[in-house]
Chains A and B, each alone.
Chain A
């Protein structure tokens, strides 16, 4: 589906015509990211992060393929092959740092993208499927990033693998055999390293597949926008090309500047020093933490310190950690407010800015801190709010809140009522 005023692809060259009759790939591109895709004209810079996420995925795949050319998935040599890549391979140091920091950049971008969705209600009908696929991508990203972190076979790699697969051990009855099955042994070793490498290479391409579905599903209703008001007429939109190509283009420049600053001047700032120590199954690092992008969920895992009735604390932690992401799947049905954008939801806005954002910040901070007081108690309060926000606050707020008046249309919100009236035909004419 597209809007009736979407421009149609017209092959400009006989070859393109020939191609269009046989494999209309140029047409597909034109309708996806070209002149044939009308996009709301009022998108703010938060809408650049989808494009940036796609860019990060490409960056990770390209640098990852390079790393795989020099890597050997064997516990005897894995650490050394990575070091050798950095020291001896031409530009190897740059590839390694780009891949490691690329993972962080990808998560920065994706967190902004997700929270954009939270605030502007991007998950609401008719875009539930876009949202669901997005959560799937996020889960796949987490799995991929986790397995990638194991590959250099440093101390954090090894103990990360041990602890994370240990989570599955918390599941009653099947936990222990499941953990053994995941690792192919009693502890992380060659079998685990090899399968993690295999899956770490495979999953990004699965992500590419789901991203294609994500974009496909997005193109059915078209992009959302900061007002949350649906597109009504042609004056509400501009064609993706050249308008948003230009906007995404310069945003990529800004992203590249920030990324290269990290890459060339602070390449190890986000890494953990312990991962420069080769894995030693006989000695656990004093303070083990996952990569920063897992910190909120790690904090939730550690927040459950007491058995709850008959449920052991460990199982509670694991349930909550997975639950913290799985709850996102239900978000379109938890939030029943007819208004999408947080800008027009006075109560929701307050909970978002003074509840969810600080809670996430605290969880981020505490997840990276040692498991001591006051961090544990802080993360308990923050995790408590996190679950309350999604499961209690959102359903209740969406029922009782009185939203602010919405603009009649995107055009009106941009140009003001008078000018918009001149441009847009009467609303009855566009309802078709």
Chain B
């Protein structure tokens, strides 16, 4: 009796699934889903490597400072960095005075209790990067976590910055309706191909690096991506550096544990 009941319940689910499968397969054949431009022309991020990659990866402090410069001079016009405090920049190798000077360069909003107005004052080291007011088209995301908030984040940021191009003719030929609107910009690394952000890094020498590195678009993109790896995970170095001794000790302890296990079970067939 129980067996028959269970088979009936089983048939209920399996037949329902077979029905869904059959109808789905039928629809797939009669009206196959239309191909989309995103599906065919979206590209995965380019291969790019950073000093912080790999199990022994460490930040390249010089590069982080260059990346910060690119952020400050280019990205900061639209993108905030709200999880990062100025004091955190000490980790890039800036001394106290430099951190203070950087903080001073930013205006931080304060609410004036007496007047009820929001005023601004110069930033201090303990302040966080202030919000960026943006009135234009699109919603520039906060960049503090961007390299963790996208698949293959660092490579994505790098690819996006270097990936602006004219819309391929093949795309327009196949999808005549998918022409990039005038206010948007074609970029195959962006999920839906058309991005509100105009190419931010346009030419060599857009920033002037203090350390003499040549500021090509590729270099600046790489540097700012490296900087954004750091903003997303300032503890990355410490994490990897803690990992090795921990794993080493665990390996040692596990070998001891295995020997002890063999020892205790010696002569006991199992």
In the complex, A303 has a CB within 8 A of chain B: yes
Q: Is the CB of B10 within 8 A of A276?
A: no
Residues of B within 8 A of A264 (CB): 239-240, 242-244, 246-247
Q: Is the CB of B19 within 8 A of A308?
A: yes
Q: Which of A41, A42, A260 contacts B247 (CB 8 A)?
A: A260
Max count, chain B CB within 10 A of own CB: residue among A42, A303, A336, A392: A392
Stretch at the interface among B59-67, B141-149, B160-168, B215-223: B141-149
Knowing A87-B234, A243-B268, say if A267 contacts B9 (CB, 8 Å): no
| A296-349 CB contacts (< 8 Å) to partner B | 303-306, 308, 311, 313, 316, 320, 323, 330, 333-334, 336
29 example contacts (A-B, Cβ-Cβ < 8 A) are as follows A83-B144, A86-B235, A87-B235, A250-B258, A253-B254, A257-B250, A264-B239, A264-B246, A265-B243, A267-B239, A268-B148, A273-B148, A286-B191, A303-B20, A304-B20, A308-B16, A333-B2, A334-B6, A373-B24, A377-B25, A380-B18, A384-B21, A388-B10, A391-B10, A391-B13, A392-B10, A395-B6, A396-B3, A414-B269
In the complex, B14 has a CB within 8 A of chain A: yes
In the complex, B132 has a CB within 8 A of chain A: no
Of all chain A residues, which has the CB nearest B236? A93
Of all chain A residues, which has the CB nearest B23? A306
In the complex, B11 has a CB within 8 A of chain A: yes
Of all chain A residues, which has the CB nearest B151? A273
In the complex, B251 has a CB within 8 A of chain A: yes
Q: Which of B7, B21, B257 contacts A391 (CB 8 A)?
A: B7
Knowing A86-B235, A246-B261, A276-B149, say if A265 contacts B55 (CB, 8 Å): yes
Of all chain A residues, which has the CB nearest B25? A377
Q: Is the CB of A306 within 8 A of B20?
A: yes
In the complex, B121 has a CB within 8 A of chain A: no
Dominant secondary structure of chain A at its interface with chain B = helix
Residues of A within 8 A of B246 (CB): 260, 264
With A and B bound together, what is the CA distance between A112 and B235 in angstroms? 33
Query: What are the nearest 4 A-B pairs in CB distance?
Result: A264-B243, A391-B10, A253-B254, A250-B257
Q: Is the CB of A373 within 8 A of B247?
A: no
Contacts beyond the supplied A380-B18, A414-B270: 14 A-B pairs with Cβ under 8 Å: A238-B270, A256-B254, A260-B243, A261-B247, A264-B242, A268-B148, A274-B149, A303-B17, A303-B20, A373-B24, A377-B25, A381-B21, A384-B13, A391-B11
From residue B264, how far is it (CB to closest CB) to chain A in Å? 4
In the complex, A103 has a CB within 8 A of chain B: no
Dominant secondary structure of chain B at its interface with chain A = helix
Q: Which of A94, A238, A387 contacts B17 (CB 8 A)?
A: A387
Q: Is the CB of A384 within 8 A of B18?
A: yes
With A and B bound together, what is the CA distance between A242 and B232 in angstroms? 47
Residues of B within 8 A of A250 (CB): 254, 257-258, 260-261
From residue A431, how far is it (CB to closest CB) to chain B in Å? 25
A243-254: CB near B (< 8 Å → 1, else 0) gives 100110110111
Q: Is the CB of B20 within 8 A of A260?
A: no
| B209-242 CB contacts (< 8 Å) to partner A | 232-235, 238-240, 242
Q: Which of B10, B21, B55, B257 contacts A387 (CB 8 A)?
A: B10
In the complex, A80 has a CB within 8 A of chain B: yes
